[in-house]
């Protein structure tokens, strides 16, 4: 008889782990030791579940790269013991964390599935149970005794997405996430449909590579009509700033005003890495398609192609953290590391 898959459930915080205290009506953090008692349905899953909780669970608005390192450490030290990992996380910054972990845990041979919920697990109408139960189930899927999912994913409201392709789009709907430039990897209905051709596959002989240095000297700047020269210049002149995600218009367009390009060029000459991503919710940067992006291409602005802002900022942190040689940085950024861009 084959062994049941073993899943490690890691609770970092967020709405999903809240229950109502019936005496006061207030929401409080869920005691993870009582997980199976609270959600007896989990006993029906054909796997074993162990739990690990952050000592102080956080609202994901307080998420920080140090927490990403904690998650990576937990996965790294338990990598050989478990067949899959499910991370319960607040939905607000879940796409950032899923993107970050995809760069920090490369060549994964096991699933790391992020999930959370819009309503607490103790709420009558909660979306937490379905998200949690199916995320665990997804983490147990195997083919020829090998985990089927070998990457960082995000499961929410019946869909499994590549984590570094997602973005949170609704603060209200259960259907809170989307993956604008990549199809979802699987969908849960009466049957669970997996689009296997989209899944990342890794060579078993190569080990999982773990990276823990994330350089936070980065910034996201969204362009808007009327952007002020003095303010733009002072941001780009910040001496410690190493990387900038510039959210431009449409297919990567920006003002053609002389001061704007001169300021970008000066900062880049001094070593700033600038990544062009579109502020549209779908589509790709294509510098040179319009006059308004040609000069950015000429001065060496990095094309973020169809990457999300969440993946762009975490990829910048990761590449800067690896101290990649300056002359290789643009090429490395413009290549996909783990499916984050087409
Ligand atoms: N503010 C919460 C968080 O991100 C919302 C949620 O859990 O969905 O932690």
Ligand 1 interacting residues, C-beta cut-off 6 A: 13-15, 59-61, 90-92, 116, 118
Half-sphere exposure of 201 (CA within 13 A, CB side): 9
Say what percent of the chain tops pLDDT 90.
83
**Best mutation site among 61, 120, 123 for ligand 1, i.e. most ligand atoms within 8 A of its Cβ?**
61
* CA pair distance 198, 236, nearest whole angstrom: 38
Q: Which of 18, 57, 97, 116, when mutated, tests ligand 1's pocket best, judged by the most ligand atoms within 8 Å of its CB? A: 116
d(CA 219, CA 238): 11
Choices 1.10.357.10, 1.20.1630.10, 3.40.50.40, 3.30.930.10: CATH for 218-333: 3.40.50.40
Output phi, psi for 87, to 5 deg: -110, 120
Q: How far away, in angstroms, is 84 Cα from ligand 1 center?
A: 23
pLDDT for 2 equals 65
Report CA-CA distances (Å) from 4 to 18, 22, 36, 51, 81. 29, 36, 17, 16, 12
- Closest by alpha carbon to 112, among 144, 142, 85? 85
Q: Which pLDDT band, with edges at 50, 70 and 90, does 286 fall under?
A: very high
- The average pLDDT across 221-233 equals 98
Confirm whether 6-210 and 218-333 share one CATH topology: yes
Model's pTM, two decimal places?
Answer: 0.96
Give pLDDT tens digits for 291-314: 888 999 999 999 999 999 999 999
Tokens (6 digits) for 155: 């499961």
CB 82 within 8 A of CB 75: no
**Taking the domains of the chain in order of start, what are their residue ranges?**
6-210, 218-333
Residue 15 a catalytic site member = yes
**Joined tokens for residue 28:** 């409080």
| Average pLDDT for 231-257 | 96
For 6-210, CATH gives 3.40.50.1170
């Amino acid at each position: 008889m084959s062994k049941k898959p073993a899943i490690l459930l890691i609770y970092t915080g967020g709405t999903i782990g809240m229950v109502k205290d019936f005496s006061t009506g207030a929401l409080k953090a869920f005691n993870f030791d009582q997980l199976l008692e609270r959600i007896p349905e989990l006993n029906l899953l054909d796997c074993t579940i162990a739990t690990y909780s952050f000592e102080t669970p956080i609202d994901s608005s307080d998420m920080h790269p140090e927490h990403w390192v904690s998650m990576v450490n937990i996965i790294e030290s338990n990598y050989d013991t478990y067949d899959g990992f499910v991370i319960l996380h607040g939905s607000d910054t879940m796409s950032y964390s899923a993107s970050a972990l995809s760069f920090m845990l490369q060549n994964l041979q096991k699933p790391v599935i992020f999930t959370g919920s819009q309503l607490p697990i103790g709420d009558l109408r909660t979306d937490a149970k379905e998200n949690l139960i199916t995320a665990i189930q997804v983490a147990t899927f195997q083919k020829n005794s090998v985990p089927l999912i070998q990457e960082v994913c995000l499961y929410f409201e019946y869909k499994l997405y590549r984590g570094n392709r997602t973005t949170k789009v609704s603060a209200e709907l259960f259907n809170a996430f989307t993956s604008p430039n990549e199809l979802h990897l699987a969908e849960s209905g009466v049957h669970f449909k997996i689009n296997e051709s989209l899944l990342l596959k890794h060579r078993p002989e190569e080990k999982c590579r773990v990276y823990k240095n994330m350089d936070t000297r980065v910034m996201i700047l969204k362009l808007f009509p009327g952007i002020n020269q003095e303010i733009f210049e002072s941001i780009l002149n910040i001496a410690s700033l190493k990387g900038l995600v510039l959210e431009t218009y449409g297919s990567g367009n920006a003002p053609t005003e002389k001061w704007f390009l001169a300021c970008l060029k000066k900062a880049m000459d001094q070593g700033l890495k600038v990544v062009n991503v579109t502020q549209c919710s779908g589509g790709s940067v294509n510098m040179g398609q319009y006059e308004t992006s040609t000069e950015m291409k000429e001065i060496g602005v990095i094309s973020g192609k169809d990457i999300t802002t969440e993946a762009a900022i975490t990829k910048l942190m990761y590449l800067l953290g690896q101290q990649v040689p300056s002359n290789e940085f643009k090429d490395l950024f413009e290549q996909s590391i783990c499916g984050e861009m087409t």
